[in-house]
Structure 1
């Protein structure tokens, strides 16, 4: 289910709002369309696809264990984010064979200068919002 007991959605709790440009990365056959629709309803437009090359307000990253390097995908997403933009990492819920531990998400976030600010259950997925302003890795 995409709605919570209070009538809101995970996307409300995470911070999506009308007018935002949101890029979607990592779409596959296993994603929940209702979760995508929650975001599209809130922002008032379709999600942008991987080929989009503009600046975005948020990135929706579907991530599963075995998808590659989460740090690399966070770096790619960060390069496209507006100054106050955020990244939402969606992982399969605990117990799923492709579940990713929260500590792994937090470690990747810290490495690229992001920090976890909130988490919400989203159907069979867990959404973690990563915001800018975390520890910056020295170059």
Structure 2
């Protein structure tokens, strides 16, 4: 296997482990110089699409929300992140791991998510420095 093929496999497996699928539109919020470039590349490799930014004007399948302790009110961030989601869409909240600068306590994530009407479905080590929490909005009422 070539180095490039091996790298592509690693990139794919990261995003696939988080449930990303081909053709999904993924909006990235909270980008800064500390985000994990390998995870970003992995998401783009699996979805086949570039990540769209906060100014994207259409619906998205997934929001990739990078969040640090000093970024403001997490409830507000989660509420805003739900706006562009299509039915069945979800949020991956990415926060620095414990012991890293900007770490957000799991209890704070749980409280903000519940207050924003979101359900936590999965927590994972999303990248070397980042934890991921998958949050889903309530099912649309018929």
Q: Does 1:133 align with 2:138?
A: yes
Deviations 1:52-98 (CA, angstroms, capped at 9, x unpaired): 02100000000000100111111111111011000001111110121
Deviations 1:29-55 (CA, angstroms, capped at 9, x unpaired): 111111101111111110001110210
Greater alpha carbon shift after TM alignment, 125-134 vs 20-29: 125-134
SS of aligned partner of 1:18: coil
For the pair shown, which has the larger CA radius of gyration, 1 or 2?
2
Aligned partners of 1:14 and 1:118 also within 8 Å: no
Structure 2: which 5+ residue stretches go unaligned? 1-9
**What TM-score do you get using the length of structure 1 for normalisation?**
0.87
**What TM-score do you get using the length of structure 2 for normalisation?**
0.85
* Residue 50 of structure 1: aligned partner: 54
Q: Offset at 1:13? A: 2.4
The structure 1 residue matched to 2:32, chosen from 28, 52, 57, is 28
* Residue 6 of structure 2: aligned partner: none
* Residue 8 of structure 1: aligned partner: 13
Kindly report which structure 2 residues correspond to 1:90-105, keeping only aligned pairs within 5 A, or say none: 90-105=94-109
- For these two proteins, the number of residue pairs brought into alignment is 130
Query: Higher helix fraction: Structure 1 or Structure 2?
Result: 2
* Residue 41 of structure 1: aligned partner: 45
